[in-house]
Amino acid sequence: MTRKLFIKTYGCQMNVYDSARMADLLAPMGYAPIDEPEGADLVILNTCHIREKAAEKIYSEIGRLRRLKEERAATGAKMLIAISGCVAQAEGEEIIRRAPAVDMVVGPQAYHRLPEMIARIERGAGRVLETDFPPEDKFDRLPTGTSSQKGPAAFLTVQEGCDKFCTFCVVPYTRGAEFSRPVAQIEAEARRLVEAGVRELSLLGQNVNAYHGEGEDGEAWSLARLIRRLAAIEGLERLRYMTSHPRDMADDLIAAHRDIEKLMPYLHLPVQAGSNRVLAAMNRGHTADDYRRLIARIREARPDLALSGDFIVGFPGETDKDFEATLRLVEEIGYAQAYSFKYSRRPGTPAAASAAQVPEEEKSARLTVLQDLLARQQRAFLESLLGRTLPVLFEHAGRHEGQLVGRSPYLQPVHVSAPSALCGRIAQVRIERADTNSLAGTLAGERVAAE
Ligand code: SAH
Ligand code: SF4
Ligand code: F3S
């Protein structure tokens, strides 16, 4: 019997990975994914708790789903609603209390139990809440299928959780303690994905460069060593990793950017702020100058590296002078692209209790200034690529007839008129146009990498 499954994913790439695994997990029970909640037998909201807005969205979405569920019930059909991800972990009991339409709440480390949870509900056992750690269990029990994989670029979670406890952040509470998957398990998953047509792998973790999974020699392998191993897989053309912490940017990982051709010249390395006082209050464990020196070393190893980052403005106690230090750092470093946010007060985190909260208008004003600067830098970076010929991995058809969309080594989408047979392959493209967030160009000649 085919049943319809709708999954809506919020938040980071790790949630995207988890949503794909949930789809794989439910496929043997007859659940096939659909693109709209209408007509679904099961709806999963895979949620994010990182900022207040993200979490609040979930309750309004549940409200909309409740109406769909009632309409469906009126026709004698059922629609189960599951809340997974970081809001589920942080506010599980509250969801059960506040939202009677929700049948299941499952945390990020417990979603491998979804099939048995569904079975329990179908037996009439009532609503279920599962928010147990630890992740070892989950990764051992996830299915090995790749049925949800679409296209040649895939995410692969190698590390999960965080022990850093930045004072603004919920992740250590929602994802739990840091955990690294064993090398052999990751390699097996990577090989399955490559067999399914994947050419580019992004290794994921909240703190991916803190990776220290067990290798077959019984030792803890670094991320660089893992990358080296995966780079040897034939058919795999590109590797990336995200998100990294400046404190864990080890020498061997910097060297990997120089030595491993398949490792793409792109690095997401958030600094959050440019003032040492704010960095200390955030518990980031490094200064702005440490970051500057680190970037200089990485650029020495890989001069064409495109840098990305995250910034928070209006952290409690941030003065105009502190904010100016952030602008100065951004000016000096030069980002190819970056994300920036207003500080959001998260319940249970140390910074939320500070009496020195920055007024909302101030945060908005600072964010506008920072985002203008980052947008100018992004524009400059994209324009620097004009006239260059870059290898592009084509991922899917574009909006226009005869167009394909791929990714440059620096991660921007590139729009090109190209035969659909090139989908899943790498071709050289001459870059001719830079838009706000993407590039466009024409095919430059022979394919560089065949299947
Ligand atoms: N592990 C990564 C970041 C994970 S969260 C790191 O350490 O860099 C992704 C981004 O969300 C963070 O880099 C931060 O910029 C932002 N963020 C996290 N908590 C926030 C909060 N309370 N308010 C605003 N932005 C926040
Ligand atoms: Fe959050 Fe800091 Fe951990 Fe990143 S390093 S996930 S910002 S606590
Ligand atoms: Fe959000 Fe959880 Fe990712 S809080 S950013 S979904 S780790």
Q: What is the pLDDT of residues 16-57, one digit of tens each?
A: 999 999 999 999 999 999 999 999 999 999 999 999 988 788
Q: Relative to the CA of 272, which ligand 2 atom is closest? A: 7
> What number is the average pLDDT over the span 409-425?
96
* pLDDT of amino acid 137: 77
Q: What percent of the chain has pLDDT over 70?
A: 98
Q: Which helix (H) or strand (E) holds 432?
A: strand 426-434
Task: Say if 149-264 and 389-450 have the same CATH topology.
Answer: no
d(CA 147, CA 151) in angstroms, rounded, equals 11
Name the DSSP class of 38: T
Cα of 243 vs centre of ligand 2, distance in Å, is: 10
Query: Ligand 2 in contact with 165 (CB < 6 A)?
Result: yes
Cα of 105 vs centre of ligand 1, distance in Å, is: 24
Q: What is the DSSP string of 9-31?
A: E-SSHHHHHHHHHHHHHHGGGTE
CATH code of the region 149-264: 3.30.750.210
How far is CA 318 from each of CA 278, 309, 338, 357, rounded to the nearest angstrom?
A: 7, 19, 20, 9
Residue partners of 253: CB distance under 8 A and separation at least 6: 209, 222, 223, 224, 227
* Structure tokens belonging to residue 283: 């518990």
Question: Are 34 and 5 contacting, i.e. CB atoms less than 8 angstroms apart?
Answer: yes
pLDDT above 60: residue 108: yes
Three-state secondary-structure class, residue 416: strand
Residue partners of 211: CB distance under 8 A and separation at least 6: 158, 159, 180, 203, 205, 221, 222, 223, 226
Site residues for ligand 3, CB cut-off 6 Å:
11-12, 14-15, 48-50, 85-86, 170-171, 174-175, 206
For 183-193, the pLDDT digits (tens) are 999 999 999 99
Note if the bond before 134 is cis, omega within 30 degrees: yes
* pLDDT of amino acid 134: 64
pLDDT above 90: residue 145: no
Note if the bond before 157 is cis, omega within 30 degrees: no
Cα of 107 vs centre of ligand 3, distance in Å, is: 12
Q: What does pTM read for this prediction?
A: 0.95
pLDDT above 50: residue 447: no
Q: Identify the residue whose tokens are 């574009």.
A: 398
Pocket test for ligand 1, best of 50, 343, 349 (most atoms within 8 A of CB): 50
Q: What percent of the chain has pLDDT over 90?
A: 91
The band of 451, judged by pLDDT with boundaries at 50, 70 and 90, is: very low
pLDDT above 80: residue 273: yes
pLDDT above 60: residue 326: yes
Cross-strand partners of 406? 394, 414
Cross-strand partners of 44? 7, 82
Query: Ligand 2 in contact with 206 (CB < 6 A)?
Result: yes
* pLDDT of amino acid 56: 84
* pLDDT of amino acid 207: 95
pLDDT above 80: residue 136: no
> What number is the average pLDDT over the span 69-94?
95
Is the CA virtual torsion 158, 164, 169, 171 positive or negative? positive
Pocket test for ligand 3, best of 44, 47, 49 (most atoms within 8 A of CB): 49
d(CA 78, CA 290) in angstroms, rounded, equals 56
Strands 389-397 and 403-407 come out as antiparallel
pLDDT above 90: residue 148: no
Cα of 13 vs centre of ligand 3, distance in Å, is: 8
The band of 450, judged by pLDDT with boundaries at 50, 70 and 90, is: very low
The superfamily in CATH containing domain 3-130 is: Methylthiotransferase, N-terminal domain (3.40.50.12160)
Pocket test for ligand 2, best of 207, 208, 291 (most atoms within 8 A of CB): 207
Query: Within 10 A of 106 (CB to CB), how many other CB atoms are there?
Result: 26
pLDDT above 60: residue 449: no
Amino acid at site 160? E
Query: Within 10 A of 310 (CB to CB), how many other CB atoms are there?
Result: 14
For 200-244, the pLDDT digits (tens) are 999 999 999 999 999 999 999 999 999 999 999 999 999 999 999
Query: Ligand 2 in contact with 162 (CB < 6 A)?
Result: yes
Mean pLDDT (the chain, rounded): 94
Domain ranges of the chain: 3-130, 149-264, 389-450
- In this structure, whether the domain defined by 389-450 belongs to CATH 2.40.50.140 is answered with yes
pLDDT above 90: residue 408: yes
Q: Identify the residue whose tokens are 């794989």.
A: 24
Cα of 440 vs centre of ligand 3, distance in Å, is: 32
